[in-house]
């Protein structure tokens, strides 16, 4: 029997989930998106999310009228609702949960009797239970509510939705069997928690653990610069044929998830606990890496007041797996700092892996070619090997001794051909011409 499903939120989480659900041919979904510009893009076929296979699934579903985009709720027509709205930490003096709790009336209006609600957004611990209690207070004790978090990596989301187990935790008035039967019909593999609070905690600590490990690597990088050794060589030596060391290489930790989840996790604890927390301090260390890079840039341009050209190569927050998401990436964050500090630098972005629309509010900075481009500072924005084209290498190799290349990930392999100075995270400032 076909299911009629509403997805609230048309971002990465909602769209990739929708594609997974639409693989079941008897399913119809509506994606409710309150952002008018996002809704406009969806309706003209621009999914603004780069995921292999996503476009084909959505095109076929639109043709068979199993998919629609909307900004208005419809009264009690849905069998299940998935909540996939973004939840940035501590915005507008609200904690990250309040945005979710504001949706109670909408769910009350749209969901059939005995319907299912799945919270997929990242939330503070206890939010799902609060959401269920609010529904009950509004006369909807029939609704079953569960926390089923998104935990895929951008660039391989559809593949991972088919393979990775989905965490699920029920609220106190919701039997787990209803949800398990429902989700297994879509091919989901499930790992069940005893309650929604446990599932929320599992989701948060998964990303917080990864963030903390990267924080340790970045602390090693900063210590290496202080004592004058090469962090990459140190880590390679520590890891070599030694099973008890698997230290990641350092680098900026961006994107919409890791920074957010660590901060959201800390919202459930006291200030005193947070300040002593390894997770919190690792997150702060990761944020210091961006500040370190910003400081290196301005130490190079210390006395400059003019429109010095700064070129960013690569704008996505990560290079592998490939994504078109620039949110909380090194490029977008450094540019935001420059704008906030009102420096008059001439900024441009070159990225052969993205379209102009992918750059969102920065699209006016995009250049199509490096021919004739000038830069006193070049910032390598991520670790994508696709960025290092022959044209890029030629451009970097002809930079002058007055130029600086900031390459935190060390993906510029032909560095000994350039006269420019280079900053490598974990080694510091280098001039290979003089070595």
Distance CA 126, CA 140 (A): 19
What is the tens place of the pLDDT at every residue in 86-113? 887 764 445 667 889 999 999 999 999 9
Hunting for tokens 């990088």 — which residue is that?
A: 221
What is the maximal distance between C-alpha atoms in the chain? 75
How far is Cα 304 from Cα 404, in angstroms, rounded to an integer?
A: 14
Phi and psi at residue 19, to the nearest 5°: -65, -40
Mean pLDDT score of the chain: 93
Tell me how far apart the alpha carbons of residues 162 and 181 are, in angstroms, rounded to a whole number: 17
Residue 185 pLDDT: 94
Structural domains present in the chain: 4-193 (3.40.50.720), 195-435 (3.40.50.720)
- pLDDT at position 412 is 87
pLDDT of residue 74: 79
Exposed/middle/buried for residue 192 (C-beta within 10 Å: 0-12, 13-18, 19+): middle
Tell me if 220 sits within 8 A of 234, measured CB to CB.
yes
End-to-end CA distance of the chain: 71
pLDDT digits (tens, 9 = 90+) for 22-43: 999 999 999 999 989 889 989 9
Instruction: Please give the Cα distance from 79 to 115 (Å, whole number).
Output: 5
Q: CA of 55: how far to CAs of 3, 58, 85, 154, 401, in Å?
A: 22, 5, 21, 15, 46
Q: Which residue has the tokens 């000038």?
A: 374
The whole-number mean pLDDT for each consecutive block of 10 residues of the chain, a chain of 435 residues, reads 90 96 95 91 87 93 94 87 86 64 94 96 95 96 97 93 96 96 96 98 97 97 97 97 95 90 94 97 97 94 80 95 93 96 93 92 95 94 93 93 94 84 94 69
384: tokens are 């994508």
């Amino acid at each position: 029997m076909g299911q009629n499903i509403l997805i609230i939120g048309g971002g990465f989480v909602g769209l990739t989930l929708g594609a997974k659900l639409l693989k079941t041919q008897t399913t119809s979904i509506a994606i409710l998106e309150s952002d008018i510009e996002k809704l406009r893009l969806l309706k003209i076929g621009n999914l603004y999310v780069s995921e292999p296979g996503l476009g084909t699934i959505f095109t076929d579903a639109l043709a068979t009228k199993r998919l629609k985009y909307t900004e208005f709720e419809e009264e009690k027509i849905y069998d299940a609702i998935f909540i996939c709205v973004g939840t940035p930490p501590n915005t507008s003096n609200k904690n990250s949960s309040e945005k979710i709790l504001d949706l109670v009336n909408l769910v009350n209006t749209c969901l059939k009797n005995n319907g299912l609600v799945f919270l997929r957004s990242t939330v503070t611990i206890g939010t799902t239970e609060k959401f269920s209690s609010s529904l009950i207070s509004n006369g909807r004790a029939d609704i079953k509510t569960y926390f089923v978090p998104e935990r895929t990596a951008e660039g391989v989301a559809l593949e991972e939705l088919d393979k990775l187990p989905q965490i699920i935790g029920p609220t106190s008035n919701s039997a787990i069997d209803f949800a398990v039967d429902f989700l297994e019909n879509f091919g989901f593999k499930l790992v069940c928690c005893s309650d929604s609070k446990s599932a929320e905690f599992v989701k948060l600590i998964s990303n917080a653990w990864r963030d903390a490990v990267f924080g340790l690597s970045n602390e090693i990088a900063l210590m290496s610069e202080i004592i004058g050794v090469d962090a990459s060589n140190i880590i390679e030596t520590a890891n070599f044929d030694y099973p008890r060391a698997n230290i990641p290489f350092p680098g900026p930790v961006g994107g919409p998830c890791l920074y957010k989840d660590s901060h959201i996790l800390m919202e459930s604890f006291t200030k005193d606990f947070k300040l002593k927390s390894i997770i919190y301090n690792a997150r702060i260390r990761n944020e210091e890496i961006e500040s370190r890079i910003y400081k290196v840039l301005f130490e190079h341009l210390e006395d400059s007041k003019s429109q010095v050209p700064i070129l960013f190569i690569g704008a996505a927050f990560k290079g592998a797996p490939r994504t078109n998401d620039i949110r909380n990436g090194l490029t977008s964050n450094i540019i935001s700092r420059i704008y906030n500090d009102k420096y008059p630098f001439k900024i441009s972005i070159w990225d052969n892996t993205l379209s102009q629309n992918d750059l969102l509010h920065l699209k006016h900075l995009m250049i199509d070619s490096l021919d004739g481009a000038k830069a006193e500072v070049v910032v390598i924005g991520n670790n994508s090997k696709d960025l290092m084209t022959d044209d890029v290498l030629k451009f970097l190799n002809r930079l002058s001794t007055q130029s600086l290349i900031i390459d935190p990930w060390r993906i510029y392999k032909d560095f000994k051909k350039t006269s420019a100075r280079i900053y490598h995270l974990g080694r510091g400032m280098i001039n290979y011409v003089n070595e």
